[in-house]
Amino acid sequence: MSEADRYKKMYPVSWDQLHRDCRALTWRLVDRKWKGILAITRGGLIPAAIIARELDIHLIDTVCISTYNWLEQTKEISILKSFTADSTGWLLVDDLVDTGKTASIVREMVPHAYFATVYAKPQGRPLVDAFVTEVSQDTWILFPWDSQPQFIEPIYQTTGHSS
């Protein structure tokens, strides 16, 4: 199955929606004491920043892993930056858990961290401790950093009807 065939649906997320979803995720995390946040780059950076603000956490580190090449998942996994400290008490944050490929690698790296993602798909969902929204496996989540607003013709112009 090609990558183009894999995604049948699109779930666009606006900046406002992402912010609301990150705050909703934060409510699930507020009752714990965290050593710091560990963001999975690049997608986890913005959710981590929002959650850090909401929880008043100032210590943020990163794990840098590359598995995506725009719409295609690459065959190779590149660990660009690891985390070697004790992961107990750390909050691990990413934007999305999809197939679980990245999540599995990071789970091995930081086995004691609490793993929270904003969005989850069924294949990766068992690997995270908390998430806000689940979407089907065949849905592409279009994050606001991957899109831009543009003019769309009114419906009456595209249908040939006029007022």
Catalytic pick from 21, 56, 86, 95? 95
Closest CA to 25 of 133, 143, 134: 133
Catalytic residue list contains 98: yes
144 and 14 Cβ atoms separated by less than 8 Å: yes
Catalytic pick from 56, 94, 129, 138? 94
Catalytic pick from 98, 129, 138, 146? 98
Catalytic residue list contains 94: yes
Catalytic residue list contains 56: no
> How do 60-69 and 36-41 pair as beta strands?
parallel
Q: What tokens does 51 get?
A: 């959650």
d(CA 52, CA 58): 7
Any idea which residues carry the catalytic annotation?
94-95, 98
